[in-house]
Every structure is written in structure tokens, then in C-alpha cells.
Amino acid sequence: MLRQSDRPYVLPGDIGIDDALGDEIVAWTDCFQECLAEEYEDFDRRPRWAPGISAFDWYDEGRRIVAELRARFPDVQVLGQFGNYVFSVNEMRENVGRLPISMPGEVRSGYIGVRDFVAQNLYR
């Protein structure tokens, strides 16, 4: 058996997460590793998951795990930053009140061009 110091990774139990929740985290992560089929380079398409896998169920399970971690570790900032594996970039932007992004050369009403987006974000 590998000692913790010999492994190139950390398991939930190594940082004080009990076995039951740790097993749920590992199963959720395994599902991601096995079932995420394709990410896209554009801003409008959602990532594609393996047939028969509900990305929305996976997302809901992740949100439940994040809530559980926050409840168990109130002094730790637990971030749930995995929506980009379920929703398109533009869906996520519009859900927080930001303009969607268009690709270079696309003129789309109500969108911000990617070049303008990059220029704005480089100097913030």
C-alpha cells in the first residue's frame, strides 16, 4: 500500500473527510473522468457526455457535495467550479447577467466580441 507521501494525489480521507462522504466524492470524480466525452472550443455548445449519463444529475450531485463540505467545514471556502462541464460559456455568462461572447469575425447583436472581452479582462 502506498503511503500518503508516496502518492501523487490526495484522497478525501487524507484531509479529514470521513469515508462515506469521501467515497461519494471519489465516485462523483470517477463519473466525470469516465463520462465527459468532449469539451468544445466555442462559447455556445455545451460539453458532451457519454450516452445515458445526465450531466445535470452529475451537476446536482456536485452541488450537494459542495453543500455538505461547506456544512462540515464552515471555516473553509469550498468553491463549486464545475458548471463549465455542464453548461456552455455563454449560458454561464448570461445566468450572471453578463453579455454572451461571440467568436472573432462574428457580428451578433447583444454579444461582446471575444477580442473586446479579452481586452477588457486584461486590464481589470
One pLDDT digit (tens) per residue for the chain, 124 residues: 556 668 888 999 999 999 999 999 999 999 999 999 999 888 999 999 999 999 999 999 999 999 999 999 999 999 999 999 999 999 999 999 999 999 888 888 999 998 888 888 766 5
Is 58 in contact with 81 (CB distance < 8 Å)?
A: no
Cβ–Cβ under 8 Å, residues 67 and 80: no
Contacting residues for 49 by C-beta, under 8 A, at least 6 apart: 35, 36, 37, 55, 58
This prediction's pTM: 0.82
